[in-house]
Amino acid sequence: MKSALLKAVTILHPESSLNGKKTDVLIENGIIAGFDVPGDENTRVIDCAGKYLSPGFVDLNANFGEPGLETKEDLDSGIKAAAAGGFTAVVAMPNTQPPVHSKAEVSYIVNKTKNAIVDVFPLGTISYNREGKDLAELYDMNMAGAVGFTDGDKPVTDSGLMSRALLYAKGFNGLVMSYAEDSLIAGKGKMNEGEVSTYLGMKGIPSLAEEVMIVRDIFLAEYNDSKIHFSTISTAKSVELIREAKKKGLKITCDVAAHNLVFSDEAVSGFDSHFKVKPPLRTQKDIKALIAGLEDGTIDAIVSQHTPHEIEHKNVEFEIASYGIIGLQTVLPLLVKAGLSPEMMVEKLAVGPRKILGKQMPGLTKGSTANFVVFDTESEWEFNSDTNFSKSVNSPMFGQKLKGKVSLVVNNNQTLNF
């Protein structure tokens, strides 16, 4: 789209003087050409009444299968799903085969996704091969373009290794992300430990498994005077622990998966394996605490935790099904369902993630490079095989009508309409 005029769109950009105002936005060749000015006869006019324009969303936790697991999701399909969800940047987890544990894998992802409509920022592993034994090549991966380090869905159980990672990354201002789970406490649990798991006769994962690891990593971050980011927290106590650590002035940030703000462990009662995620769906009390944590700033960002699987990994008994759901295209509808305001959505999807990564906010002035999403919270659409851009279909919302829709994404002089 060389030239487009977005008519009567409401701006949601905390750093813009137009924040909260309704205006017309003229885009020419990927650049914001002006506000409340007409285009020429070749300009495409798009009615955006009732819609919001905000900086493009950034997802801090998405799993793409490439390299090695392309049958789940390759980079191209992942980018399309991300754009359809309103994301102009995605932080890719290193859960691939081989894992992203050296500069070779980081460079592959950076080069393969160069100039795509969605910027893909790779994460490197903390440990070589995600084995939790030896430190991976953190500095080399950082120089190649890795924006942080995590062992993905494998917790770093060795406290000494995590401490060394924090101290080493501190030397070049690297970001270490913690997936907080004590695997010995979690054991072979399949869902949240509580009344529902007892009723269903299923082994549960106690909240304690998450909280113990959060306590450990808070102590390690304090000891090393380093920053740390907690990925996908899920319990009320976790929110409380991080809130207190932040009050002490520790350099701690955290995020929550969108599905953990809506679905509770009661959803598992029907043994639908699409509700099998990790961390597990917790209780209504936990959901309430997570939303309170978003409101008071304890939780900095919301993520999709997009985890695609082939059908044979999900269309099986709950006990043996793989963990995870696809989530890039359903974050916005879930946040609408959770009752979050559009302003809060922008804060946790566009502003917070960029602060965590140290990335500059896209400008919204004449002459700025266009990097934004247009969305609304009222439009309904069906998530089905026609609208799904992922290679996988493992979502409890598949086949359902959802409320909240992305209609336009612009980034890197490219535009997609949905």
Q: What is the pLDDT of residues 81-136, one digit of tens each?
A: 999 999 999 999 999 999 999 999 999 999 999 999 999 999 999 999 999 999 99
d(CA 344, CA 24): 23
- Buried b / exposed e along 153-185 (16+ C-beta atoms within 10 A): bbbbeeeebbbbbbebbbeeebbbbbbbbbeeb
pLDDT(38) > 90? no
Q: Would you state the structure tokens that stand for residue 80, as one six-digit string? A: 């399309």
Q: What is the mean pLDDT of residues 403-412?
A: 97
β 119-122/87-92 pair status: parallel
d(CA 116, CA 120): 8
d(CA 327, CA 291): 19
pLDDT-derived band at 1, boundaries 50, 70, 90: low
In this predicted structure, what is the pLDDT of residue 366? Answer: 94
Q: What is the 8-class DSSP label of residue 190?
A: -
pLDDT(172) > 80? yes
Q: What domains can you pick out in the chain, each with its CATH number?
A: 3-53+364-417 (2.30.40.10), 154-301 (3.20.20.140)
In this predicted structure, what is the pLDDT of residue 336? Answer: 98
d(CA 140, CA 136): 9
pLDDT in tens, 224-281: 999 999 999 999 999 999 999 999 999 999 999 999 999 999 999 999 999 999 999 9
Q: What is the mean pLDDT of residues 6-23?
A: 95
In this predicted structure, what is the pLDDT of residue 42? Answer: 87
pLDDT-derived band at 403, boundaries 50, 70, 90: very high
d(CA 296, CA 289): 11
d(CA 239, CA 332): 22
In this predicted structure, what is the pLDDT of residue 2? Answer: 81
Q: What is the mean pLDDT of residues 60-82?
A: 97
Q: Which residues pair with 306 in a beta bridge?
A: 62, 325
pLDDT(380) > 80? yes
pLDDT(40) > 90? no
Q: Where are the alpha helices (DSSP H) in 251-382?
A: 284-295, 331-338, 342-346, 352-357
The CA dihedral of 368, 373, 377, 380, to the nearest 10 degrees, is: 150
3-state secondary structure of 261: helix
Q: What is the mean pLDDT of residues 295-314?
A: 97
- Among 269, 271, 299, 270, smallest CA distance to 286 is for 299
Q: What is the mean pLDDT of residues 307-336?
A: 97
Q: What is the mean pLDDT of residues 384-402?
A: 97
- Among 362, 363, 398, 320, smallest CA distance to 58 is for 362
d(CA 248, CA 243): 9
